[in-house]
Amino acid sequence: MSDVARTLEFLTRLIAFDTTSRNSNLALIDWMEAFLAERGIASRRVFNADGAKANLYALIGPSVEGGIVLSGHTDVVPVDGQPWTSNPWVLTQRGDKLYGRGAADMKSFLALALAHVDEALKANLKRPIILAFSYDEEIGCLGAPSMISEIVRDMPRPAAVIVGEPTSMRVVSAHKGVRSFIVEVTGREAHSSLPDTGVSAIMEALKLMTLVAEMGQQARAISHAHFHPAAPTMTIGRVEGGTAANILARKCSFVWDLRTVEVAEADAIEARFRAAADVLDGEIKQRAPEGGVSITRRSNTAGLALERDSAAEQIARALTGDNETRAVAYAAEAGLFQRAGIPAIICGPGSIEQAHQPDEWIELAQIAEGAAFIRKLIARLSV
């Protein structure tokens, strides 16, 4: 059986698991764990707080330093309301494209890693491959930190991490960091004809949402090489509030995210927003003591800084022959590994342009290119 055919068998199984981030991923983890155990490979789970989800990591080869981590996330984004033309949980081939939720982002990389486990076991590896599969990447890289902490603490020190997000098998050297915030504004209900007798949470929340838009516009003056967009970005992704047109809303909440290259930029923008929220909180409490503003930081994912001479850069470029410098605006788990002291890059099959879309797809050629990449990695670690 060819590498591509075997990878497609694994991809078919992986896509059949509905691992949308709101769901448990344990059925998929059970299957992966059993697959590895059948081959004598011990794996370790790192659970979330309520035990409904888990990361999984495992070492293949000798327990020595200098191995390579193949990192990927098991969760996918929802298909709700999207006009799919085939079942998103069934891998479907049409021509040279494979369709299914996670085909690009990023179960094809997981399939490639698992499909080559037997080849890695047969090889005389001198340094190990470490599989590291996380949960809840899609909602803020929430799962990986606990797994990374264990890998750093308990495993032989890896030389580098390859995070297999879809890059069309090109090397990506940097990504932005992302912070997201849940903002809840509480006012006081009243008849809309008597606005001075209450506090509209929606009207007050608008002041903070306007600030987010203003800061995003002002940030356009900042430019970072290799990034597109080059500036920090701020967006509001969800707004909820109100009960009727003629009632001043008691509650309004919104979620916004902030994507920056540098931590100092993010710190300054967050501080400005929190200062404005504190002022607004005081103003609301003067009119409605039970009201106010609360902010919950939903996520805080570190960016990946460019380290052109790192071990991760060297091995990825040797395996791909790609010497261009690229950066991406989305966040990934590479920055978390880098912050933990392990050099990282992003390189995986498929295109981010197909991610999160209805009829998400990946080209067969990308599977073949990914398989060649893994074979070269196994050969390199066997020298």
Q: Would you tell me which CATH number, out of the four given (1.10.530.10, 2.40.50.140, 3.30.70.360, 1.20.1250.20), belongs to the domain 177-301?
A: 3.30.70.360
Q: Tens place of pLDDT for every residue, the chain, 383 residues?
A: 789 999 999 999 999 999 999 999 999 999 999 999 999 999 999 999 999 999 999 999 999 999 999 999 999 999 999 999 999 999 999 999 999 999 999 999 999 999 999 999 999 999 999 999 999 999 989 999 999 999 999 999 999 999 999 999 999 999 999 999 999 999 999 999 999 999 999 999 999 999 999 999 999 999 999 999 999 999 999 999 999 999 999 999 999 999 999 999 999 999 999 999 999 999 999 999 999 999 999 999 999 999 999 999 999 999 999 999 999 999 999 999 999 999 999 999 999 999 999 999 999 999 999 999 999 999 999 98
Catalytic positions: 75, 137
What is the spatial distance between Cα 339 and Cα 144, in angstroms, rounded to a whole number? 12
Q: Map out the domains of the chain as residue ranges.
A: 3-174+303-381, 177-301
Cα-based distances in Å from 311 to 38, 75, 156, 158, 280: 32, 28, 16, 10, 48
CATH number attached to the domain at 3-174+303-381: 3.40.630.10
What is the pTM for the complete model shown?
A: 0.91
